[in-house]
């Protein structure tokens, strides 16, 4: 099968969608399928293909992490895609590449699949002032409806996707496929302990400290400020518990100021940007993944942490509560007191009990590697192709019935004229 994966961002940019698309690409190729990733690139002025990725000229959006937005219509891009001749066009973003995907699928008569990765209600503030956020959400709901309507299949990483598709007034079934993990990359046995020790020393974290971490975009929607606030209200100096924010983003300076104002610089650290290949070292440096974010569909960073054996402490998110199996891969907290209680329990576990918990955590993600997810995605593709063929047959049937009706009507008119 030939598969085109369309995404607004791709490596070297790091985010959940980028990682998901890369993992899918690797999985499909291992299964013998041909893949072309199509992405916007502010670093190029002309279309070119390298290592199975079609890079398209784009304008850099400085206010949005430096990501690029390309033209949704391009004859050159369409020509390259036509030569590739995809059976499936799979959209992973709803902007320039998403619109191009809808256009290309129609022109090339390819089957269109759409994955909703993002809870956009948490991101409207990037493009609209607060007074217009409610209106912005309504517009976004209608906009997402366009993708739901044009696709032969809709995929989502969590139950939260159902809520968004419902709001767009569509009743199409959403196939839930949790995000996958590069198990060979995020394997604690492959990480050099000396390099981990150096990271701790660089951050000024004692060897015997209990380290919690968050990995991702440092921005308002991730609610890192909530975690910091909760820690400031509960953490005691002799707890020897540290919180490390791994990543970068527009909210970093504000959060660093929050930490300073609360006099927590000793216990809360910021690493800045960390390259994807270096993330396993930072996970292994940590003992727990801690997040207050309510904007996730199905956090890839959380899954990566689990693959590295880290239990998760997650703020209650009603729609996503099933991601955490209490006592098996982590715990849920509701407020600062609840969070602190769990932190103390986990940080005081003896070595044997903690290792048993780590084993259970790793077990919960063992079936979420790139090959297993790719196989499940291929099942979606096959059904989407069948659905597309059925829709095409129905269209032809309707068209033929319309032609027959028209001929009959014309025949009756001719007979009437002859009789008169």
Mean pLDDT taken over the chain? 88
Asked whether residue 410 carries a pLDDT value surpassing 80, the answer given is no
Task: Say whether the peptide bond before residue 12 is cis (omega within 30 degrees of 0).
Answer: yes
pLDDT of residue 169: 54
Q: Quote the CA–CA distance of 188 and 309 in Å, as a whole number.
A: 8
- Domain ranges (residues) in the chain: 2-180+372-396, 188-368
| Predicted TM-score of the model (pTM) | 0.77
For the stretch 85-132, pLDDT in tens is: 999 999 999 889 999 999 999 999 999 999 988 766 655 555 555 655
Asked whether residue 339 carries a pLDDT value surpassing 90, the answer given is yes
Which residue in 301, 232, 312 sits closest to 267, CA to CA? 232
Measured N-to-C along each axis, helices 351-364 and 300-307 cross at an angle, to the nearest 10 degrees, of 130
pLDDT of residue 270: 98
pLDDT of residue 412: 63
Q: Quote the CA–CA distance of 54 and 51 in Å, as a whole number.
A: 9
Percent of the chain with pLDDT over 70: 87
- Specify the CATH superfamily of domain 2-180+372-396: Glycogen Phosphorylase B; (3.40.50.2000)
Class of domain 188-368: alpha beta
Q: Quote the CA–CA distance of 252 and 16 in Å, as a whole number.
A: 19
Q: Quote the CA–CA distance of 181 and 185 in Å, as a whole number.
A: 8
Q: Do residues 299 and 291 touch, judged by C-beta distance below 8 A?
A: yes
Q: Quote the CA–CA distance of 181 and 67 in Å, as a whole number.
A: 24
Domains 2-180+372-396 and 188-368 share a fold: yes
Measured N-to-C along each axis, helices 96-108 and 133-150 cross at an angle, to the nearest 10 degrees, of 20
């Amino acid at each position: 099968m030939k598969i085109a994966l369309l995404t607004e961002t791709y490596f070297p940019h790091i985010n959940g969608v980028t990682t998901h698309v890369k993992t899918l690409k690797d999985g499909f190729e291992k299964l013998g399928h041909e893949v072309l990733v199509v992405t916007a690139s502010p670093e190029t002025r002309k279309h070119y293909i390298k290592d199975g990725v079609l890079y398209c000229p784009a304008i850099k959006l400085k206010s949005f992490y430096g990501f690029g937005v390309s033209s949704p219509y391009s004859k050159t891009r369409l020509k390259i895609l036509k030569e590739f001749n995809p059976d499936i066009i799979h959209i992973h973003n709803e902007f320039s590449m998403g619109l191009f995907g809808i256009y290309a699928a129609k022109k090339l008569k390819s089957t269109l699949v759409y994955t909703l990765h993002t809870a956009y209600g948490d991101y409207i503030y990037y493009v609209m002032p607060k007074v217009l956020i409610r209106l912005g959400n309504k517009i976004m709901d209608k906009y997402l409806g366009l993708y739901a309507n044009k696709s032969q299949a809709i995929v989502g990483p969590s139950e939260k996707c159902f809520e968004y598709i419902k709001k767009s007034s569509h009743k199409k079934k959403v196939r839930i496929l949790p995000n996958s993990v590069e198990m060979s990359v995020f394997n604690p046995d492959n990480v050099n302990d000396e390099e981990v020790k150096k990271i701790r020393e660089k951050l000024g974290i004692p060897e015997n400290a209990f380290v919690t971490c968050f990995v991702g975009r440092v921005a308002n929607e991730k609610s890192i400020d909530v975690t910091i606030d909760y820690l400031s209200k509960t953490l005691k100096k002799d707890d020897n518990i540290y919180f490390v924010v791994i990543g970068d983003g527009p909210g970093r300076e504000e959060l660093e100021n929050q930490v300073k104002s609360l006099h927590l610089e000793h216990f809360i650290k910021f690493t800045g940007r960390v390259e994807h290949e270096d993330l396993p070292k930072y996970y292994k440096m940590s003992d727990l993944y801690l997040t207050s974010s309510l904007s996730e569909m199905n956090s890839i960073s959380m899954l990566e942490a689990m693959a590295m054996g880290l239990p998760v402490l997650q703020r209650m998110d009603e729609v996503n509560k099933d991601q955490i199996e209490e006592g098996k891969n982590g715990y849920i907290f509701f407020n600062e007191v609840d969070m602190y209680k769990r932190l103390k329990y986990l940080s005081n576990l003896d070595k044997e009990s903690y290792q048993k918990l780590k084993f259970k955590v790793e077990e919960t993600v063992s079936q979420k590697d790139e090959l297993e997810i790719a196989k499940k995605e291929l099942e979606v593709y096959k059904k989407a192709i069948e659905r597309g063929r059925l829709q095409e047959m129905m269209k032809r049937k309707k068209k033929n019935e319309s032609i027959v009706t028209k001929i009959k009507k014309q025949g009756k008119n001719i007979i009437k004229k002859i009789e008169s």
